Structure 1
Amino acid sequence: MLDPEVPDLAQVLDALGASLLRPVTPLPDRPVPVSGVLIHERRGVAPPGQDTILLAVGADPGEAKDLLHSAAGYSALVVKSFGEPLTELSDAARDAGVVLLAADEAVPWHHLEAMLSSALAPAVRTPGAPAAGDLFALANAIAGMVGGATTIEDPHRRILAYSTLPGQPIDDGRRQGILGLQVPEVPVFYDDQYRELARTRQTCRFPSLPGGLPRLGVAVRAGSEMLGSIWVVDADDSLDETAEQALFNAAEIAALHLLAARTAVDVVRRRRADLLQRLLADPSSVTAVAPQLGLDPDAPVAVAAFTVADPEDVLAAHAATRLADLVSLHCEAHYGRHGCALIDGTVYALLPKGPHGELVADIARRAHGALRMPVQAGLGATVPGLRSIASSRADADLVLRTLAEQRTSPEACRVAAIEEVWAGATLSVLAQILAGDASLPRRLGPAVRAHDVEHGTTYAPTILAYLDTNGDIAAASARLSVHPNTIRYRLSRAEEIFGFDLADPDERLVLWLRLRLGDQLGW
């Protein structure tokens, strides 16, 4: 997050996003302070500037290389390559001790300078709430300039601000969105509109949907990154090309506001994530952490855990970050100030008010719809206060592990509370105990499976089907699609070969556990 005292270059780049500026040379291990932004005009002399970012406006790589000789003391030099190699310039930047950054070629220099200045502005770096009033004022200005009720949204279709000018008609879709600060889910229609908006850099005109009014829409971008969108209701279908151009021009102004709002929100969100991570790792820190999270340390609380269940590690890692944003947004909308953190691929959220089940399920469904990937969520038991939070987190983790271990086919969205999966959770814990205790005899379960592999027999699935059906030969035969006499013969032979007694209840229980948990134990 941006330090309010000494902003660091890495923090500034993180706030702006990788699509706007990318490092060509590695960032130093030490902090690189940034105090401001300077523009170098072509054929001019580089202005003096300690700890500033220098924009090499109009300079090609060769000219920028000469510029580096007078750029000592700068935090970074920003260039546009336009497809030219930057190898020599990169080497020169390393020798000069200046970080070399490449800007998105589609972003005008004045726009880039304004966004950098916005990211460095003291008001933005204040670790408080974002200046949402600026966005509402902007929405009113756009509504007056373009001629229709206006909403400003983030990339997750969350409504950040809306106009309030009198006399401008709105429809039910806008009204519902304002009430929930979230665009209503009408996938068939809205998804097509957002895809069209993402494909073009011009103002889009959209016809009315069932029960709605026509709209103009435009994407708000910082380079190739989409920061959000602006929507204007065209109630009388009378907004002309002048209105379209006005909305397009407003998008560039809105980019600065959205960047400022996003930066301020990220400062607060990351700080709260750090605090929650500390609390989950060390519940004894509750006295220091709880006031900063705005939570009562003695109020009931539960931990919810969310994961993206995907076999592709790279995709899952990227989706986990997006999942953290989605969970955080929904929890903020429901609870206001709260704690949410991404830890080792799992998103944890504190839920201070109950009941929680419906909210967790709703977040998981919405996350699945946005990510188009399987999402699992586990809800821990409610504990009497933050000092017992480790117990609720352990419950949530156990639910996720239980869902992952269930043998049923994977579903798009799976949600459970610890009370709903207590049996599977118990087996999961027993599997860990069995796997970790070397003193327990391991002969029987592995021996049956090994015999099946070596001789092509099916004793393990036969015994397991028999035990799963409580000793019902007919039910076991139906499950395996074999004759009941075949089941009886296999069971009799298994007792002879492996030396167990199915009439003994203790042996039946242990045998069932070993065969049932064989996959989890690696047997």
Structure 2
Amino acid sequence: MTNTVERQEVRRLAGRSAWRDVPPARVRRFAALAMDEVPELAQDILREIRHEYPGLPLVLDPSGEPMALVGIRRALEHFVGRLTAPDDAGREVPPEVFQEFGRGEVIQGRSLDSLQAVYRLGVKLAWRRLAEIGQQVAIPPPAMYELVESGFDYLDGLVAQSVRGYAEAVARQTGERLRLQRRLMELILGDRPRGDPTAALAERAGRIGWQLPGKVAVAVLLRPAPEAVAPAVGADVLLDMDGEQPRMVVPEPDAAGRAELLRRALAGWSGAIGPPVALAEAAKSLRWAEAAVRLMERGLLPAGQLLHCTEHTEALVLLPPEELIEDLARRRLGPLAGCGPAHARRLAETLLAWLETRGGAPEVAARLGVHPQTVRYRLRQIRELWGAEMDDPDRRFELELVLRARRLRGELSAARG
């Protein structure tokens, strides 16, 4: 096609056209004979197309006539009619039928490749008949060559209309799928109504071809930028990009290779994915993911990637119930109130190391990176401050909870070993 355009441009620049040099009476005679041939030629083209492509469906218009025949006939009539039209008239390709052909390819689940092959076959058959008419009325070969180039240009216009129809149908189909997908996700993630939701889930899932999984994990994402392109997750992953924080339902999250595929698809995104749960309990996974994202936004959990809640259980258990933990901390860490901030922190770190190891001074010292004698001194102070509470298992458990929570918030140093 590039060569065709280049040759036409050369002719235009040279200021000559072989077709324009043909006497007008001969052109009108050629056009009249060609127009008379259009009905039979359209039938022949359709017959040959159906022979070459037997799988193509034959769709009828409201009058009962094959739409393909209507399109072929209209295209031929329009092309032949241009031969005698003024330079600036009749240049538009009739769009409706050919846009509908493009939409039909989407409905039938095919690409545009087969449709373009059909168009090329039609042009080849039409050219044979027009060449015969050209010989009959003595149209010079250079003019006929120019005519066939014009025919392929015309074909480009038909293809463009079909591409437009195809794109519109794909957009509608995609929009409809997204709408149905959101409705499915609403049912999966919403408050569970009374009764078994399996039938309703199966009905909505079937409308988008989604197979109900045994387990799912739900993710909440943080947009890297307002205009960020949706992550390229697999077709079996449900993704809702409408909200400020997109949500994702991942089927069978423990399947081999799933975690790696998600990591690649979500490159540049951050967020959290909840624990695997039964499909009917997906809302639980969502709650964990939402809690993790809130901690990420506060800087209490690492951002910059997809965080797995199952790997941060301690933080998710201890950090969200902030008021309860703080109230417990005020009651259990009261003995530190009379110490200076730096000294109180050192004692708290030593107490937590002892609670976690339940070892002697050497073990605690190794965990803290200090001298055992320093640990012995601190442990004596701790015993003086808490007294008999150090021997109560429930009090020791509560002390460890509040001290771990403070370490998670960065208020205490992390242990070295």
Q: Compute the TM-score of the two structures, normalised by the length of structure 2.
A: 0.49
More helix by share: 2
Highest CA radius of gyration, 1 or 2?
2
More strand by share: 1
